[in-house]
Chains A and B, each alone.
Chain A
């Protein structure tokens, strides 16, 4: 379904989505984040990249797996804690972040599937927004097979055409969402269709950064596990979790039991994001650590994204959102690292 929606009418669409929890980019001080909104005016579609991608709604940083009450003697109680059944819609999803969801899908859908992730994923409609102007200096989606108007992982793609949006839905979920307010949508004219093509074409040209010959890099990485390259590249790494926590494709997590000291037997088993950049991620209880230093951990991040994931799921585990580059406090630049791999002797 392809329709036109004026910017003025956009809030009416949202107001019609009464049965949905509506999420979208909201500006707070100098940053944008995806938040649940009540008031459509809070939603800011003229946004630069959010700090965290919408992954945080589908795969929240903290997910309760189960509640337990462990009796000293007798049978403990275990209560499964699946996410609430709701209907969610996320507006303003960047095409790179939507593609990233198709990658985390691969991990969590793989048998045996992950009920928590899949429930949240299936009950969420993703409404994308074409990046007519790249939202970050470090966007490089086109190098990874994506584009500023890619539709992968999206139910709907909106493209800004001056005072209106071109709204295109590709799935039943998407069409249903548009039908919820069918009177606000108009049919597109031939000019609109022409304009859309033009905006899409222009948007690709505006992506300044790129990695060339990725498949060559992937091949080369296979022989670089023991290379001193990783020592050199990781010298300035601080061992923080920014690159991975901000990444829309990183899926690693920890599972731990949370109790209060006042009731040590009653609590919750939770899943929280974890990162290969932290030393204790791989540390055995004996203290032995297969990835003991930052060089092996940078290597893991790069190889996971551009070698292991390619072998396991036939795709790069990166969609070129550029967050890890923009936010690294010491300017470790994944594009530069990859380019250096290519030229490394």
Chain B
């Protein structure tokens, strides 16, 4: 038996397990309940929440992109640690409020929440569209990751399209049948698997290639003095860009509509505890960066097409003793990609059903809405799959690209909870303006002001617009009532 056969068997066993856990999670729960599908009847405990939040963040981006960044950009990759830690902090304050009012008024999405506060269907639809536009590139990224892993680990014997088709197909099926509970329980399994594997790999490569962490960093430092620093001559990222990336992540992180929806899967108290234990998850990311650093000076940059391939390259070239180990690594990387894509696919399906379909035609009965959501799992999945296989772009650019527009939702969310005077029209103008400015600086402008993150510039315009138009336009009567309710929760 060749090595890749053993690897394939190990990966297949993992896929079967993930599939069974995903399907079994929904067993005994109502298949026809919208609340069960969307928010797990608001009953998740701390254990599941931690893995659900962690697994969602710990994506193919972290597993393939993380080492890639460490390898090619050095200290700039610390950004990944920092955003994972800081990102969830605002949730400690807004999460419980969002959960409380959501339970009272029966919300399941961010569109529900904002649309009701500002008494505007239009806003709900805009939020739904922004969400889905951000979900698709994110999902594309995960699918690309899955395809890579299959392709590289089987030495090209499994074609690019087929590996992604099998692994993402499994995700689509268990999300469509078991809803958020399927995503959550498979995340528990996937997160444990990938954390264990990340640590084993990190320690193994550091030891084998450099004989210890200290040696590794000293070698790197000797060859390039600025590689482990931010904003120096030989560093990969300027100080302004590094800082503004972190700020925008902290603002944008909990604005991801699927994370927002997760506020509705649990109770207020558990949200706070989840935030408390979350930084530990960030520490688990450390070895992932070590993997990338260990390749520095060992693998020359012309040996790989792009930096995202550093982990697969190290595995195929330096982890040659055991086919089994090799397969387990593949499973871990797949787990990282799958545990993010299930939550996002689920989020996209719920947004599509509730924020777009239901908002446009409010007479849709609940059971039809549920079937629209299940159908959307396949629809959104198919679109992302096609882009992943036939489209092309650098791994991380895609994800960071989606981050900017998402952060533009922040003024709406914070205003809804803390500022009573803010009106619907100002929020809508601010949101649209912010998204346009962000997209302009991201894709069309030669450079941004002071090298700041495009999303941050958009946000400045967004907030200014919200402020000016709130002073100019008055609220409707029903909006005043809602504003008071949201403010006092």
* Pair from one complex: no
Q: Which residues of A contact B (CB under 8 A)?
A: none
Q: Which residues of B contact A (CB under 8 A)?
A: none
